Amino acid sequence: MPCNPNASEEVKAVMTFLSEVAGKGLITGQHTQTRDQKELGYIQEVTGKLPALCGFELLSYSPNINYEDSGEECLVEVEENKNTLEKAWDWVLNQKGLITFAWHWFSPIGGRDKSFYTEFTDYDASQAVIEGTVEHQALISDMDHIAEILKEFRDKRIPLLWRPFHEAEGTWFWWGAKGPDVARKLYRIMYERYTNVHHLDNLIWVWNSPLKEGYPGDEVVDVISRDLYPPKRKHTALKPEYEELIQITPVSKVTALGEIGVTPNISEVAANGIPWAWYMIWSKEYGSTDVWTSEKVLYATYHHEYAITLDKLPRLY
Question: What are the catalytic residues?
Answer: 167, 259
3-class DSSP string for the chain: CCCCCCCCHHHHHHHHHHHHHECCEEECEEECCCCCCHHHHHHHHHHCCCECEEEEECHHHCCCCCHHHCCHHHHHHHHHHCCCHHHHHHHHHHHCCEEEEECCCCCCCCCCCCCCEHHHCCCCHHHHCCCCCHHHHHHHHHHHHHHHHHHHHHHCCCCEEECCCCCCCCCCECCCCCCHHHHHHHHHHHHHHHHHHCCCCCEEEEEECCCCCCCCCHHHCCEEEEEECCCCCCCCCCHHHHHHHHHHCCCCCEEEEEEECCCCCHHHHHHHCCCEEEEEECCCHHHHCCCCCCHHHHHHHHCCCCEEEHHHCCCCC
267: exposed, middle or buried (Cβ count in 10 Å: 0-12, 13-18, 19+):
middle
For residue 304, which amino acid is it? H
